[in-house]
Amino acid sequence: MSTIGIQMYTLRDSMNTREDLEKTLRRVAEMGYTSVQIRIPDFVTDEEGAAMLAHYGLSADTAFAPFDDHIWENIPKTVKQAQLLGTNMVRTTSIPHDLGQSEEGYHEFARQMNRVAAEFAKSGLTFMYHFHAFEYVNFPTCTGMDILLKETDPSCVDFQPDVFWLTAAGKEPSQALYDFKGRSRYMHLKDYAIAEPQKVIEGVPRISAPVGTGNLNWPGILKAAADIGIEYYVVEDDMGILDPFDSAKQSIDNLKKMGV
């Protein structure tokens, strides 16, 4: 059974205080969401964050571990957070900038992810990488994404595709998603729209939009998602022009109409 969740970064400007966080979680639940992808804010403890989510009937789909110099020392804290939130998935941030500049950097990042993921696996957790478009950078014989997919351990490293960023990378999402069969249970969903044209024809501004209101092939995307085993359909409209709450409501309503 699939779950429709929301990446709370969509609503980031409404989560700056404890009171705002409470109001935002309540509004998310009222829209019909039951799952959130959230980074617990610094002004509440993980215990308090878990209690807030439970109060509004929400669950956190993942714990969060930034891939930085402190990731190793933070592993025990992240394991505890995952246990508090009731999830077996840890998501991380993008490849560090210096590693993302070369083919060898991607090979090294794959090695580093494997080592970190193996440590989390000791506690029954899977490590998940959310990519954007830049990982499809072309090297002489492959792309950065080719390296990450081929050289990370399928037993403990997963990926979270984003249909907007697949499109931005020049891929057709309904086809590209099959590259992640067996490696993905989570997917980010936002539509790909074109804003008002600029003065030059090359200046085509792309924006994110609520699911079902842009130019993406949603019947094909949702079929591919089901085929590859996506369980968590996570709405994220992080670069849109609408009120983020209106966007979030449109997305969940449209996904339900589409049969998710």
The percentage of residues in the chain with a pLDDT greater than 90, rounded to a whole number, is 93
- Would you say residue 119 has pLDDT above 90? yes
> For residue 182, is it left (φ>0), alpha (ψ between -120 and 50) or beta?
left
For 130-160, write each residue's pLDDT tens digit.
999 999 999 999 999 999 999 999 999 999 9
Domains of the chain by residue range: 3-257
Q: Determine the pLDDT at residue 41.
A: 96
Q: Determine the pLDDT at residue 203.
A: 73
Length of the chain: 260
For 174-230, write each residue's pLDDT tens digit.
999 999 999 999 999 999 999 877 676 777 788 999 999 999 999 999 999 999 999
Beta bridge partners of 35: 5, 59
How does residue 1 score in pLDDT terms, banded at 50, 70 and 90? Answer: confident
Q: Determine the pLDDT at residue 195.
A: 85
Q: Determine the pLDDT at residue 32.
A: 97
Q: For the beta carbon of residue 137, count every other beta carbon within 10 angstroms.
A: 16
CATH 1.10.287.90 fits 3-257, yes or no: no
Q: Quote the pTM value.
A: 0.95
Q: Which two tokens stand for residue 36?
A: 């959130």
* Average predicted confidence (pLDDT) for the chain: 96
Q: Which two tokens stand for residue 28?
A: 């998310």
Q: Find the mean pLDDT for residues 41-57.
A: 97
Q: Which two tokens stand for residue 239?
A: 């670069």
> For residue 160, is it left (φ>0), alpha (ψ between -120 and 50) or beta?
beta
